[in-house]
Amino acid sequence: MKTLRYLILERLYEWSKLPYRWLFKNEEPWDISVKELLTYPIESLGYHLGCFLLQHHFTPEPQLEDHDIYHVLTGSGISVPDEIAMQFYLFGNGKRSLYLFIVLTIGTLLFPDHIKQFWSAYKKGRKAHAFYHLNFLKLLHQPLIKLQYTFKITTL
């Protein structure tokens, strides 16, 4: 059974997606399906993204495709604490946005029992070369392991 803190954050996330896209995202949607991603070579970022989406019964969210790429690159899960930890990883990696600060603040307040996980993710993000700003659409054909090695991305 999910506790109130999980439900609060899940609901806030659902409510925030549309305004976030409208206010902060100006990139074009990738217009790519899970089926198309699975046609990439098995070792590629694109294929691994397709597997991640398929495994969790997700479809690519227009203009939010990078978010799922971050999951694939960092090996982070999809639970609420894992999502928050991934944002700490990105913060450590240099990413700065109002949305990220809101997630870090609310996540820390609602999940103080996961602070060690968040701190560990932050430190891993600091050790990695900055990757949060890359054009991942152009990197879908690259081997996942090569990208992780090149940018010193360790999994969560």
- Quick: pLDDT tens for 53-82: 999 999 998 888 999 999 999 999 999 999
| E strand intervals along the chain | none
Q: What average pLDDT does range 83-87 have in this prediction? A: 96
Q: Is the pLDDT of residue 125 over 80?
A: yes
Is residue 23 assigned to a domain? no
Question: Domain containing 121: what range?
Answer: 4-11+31-150
Give the number of domains in the chain. Answer: 1
Residue 30 Cα to chain centre, angstroms: 16
Tokens of 35: 């089926």
Is residue 155 assigned to a domain? no
- Quick: pLDDT tens for 9-20: 777 777 666 666
CA 120, CA 126: separation in Å to the nearest integer? 10
- Quick: pLDDT tens for 18-63: 666 556 667 788 999 999 999 999 999 999 999 999 999 999 988 8
Of residues 25 and 151, more confidently modeled: 151
Is residue 18 assigned to a domain? no
Of residues 119 and 29, more confidently modeled: 119
Give me the pLDDT at residue 11, please.
77
Scored b (16 or more CB within 10 A) or e, 58-82 reads eebeebbbbebbbbbbbebeeebbb
The total of other beta-carbon atoms located within 10 Å of residue 130's CB is: 12
Give me the pLDDT at residue 26, please.
72
Is residue 26 assigned to a domain? no
Of all residues in the chain, the percent with pLDDT exceeding 70 is 92
CA 69, CA 49: separation in Å to the nearest integer? 6
Give me the pLDDT at residue 16, please.
67
Is residue 64 assigned to a domain? yes
CA 84, CA 62: separation in Å to the nearest integer? 21
Is residue 19 assigned to a domain? no
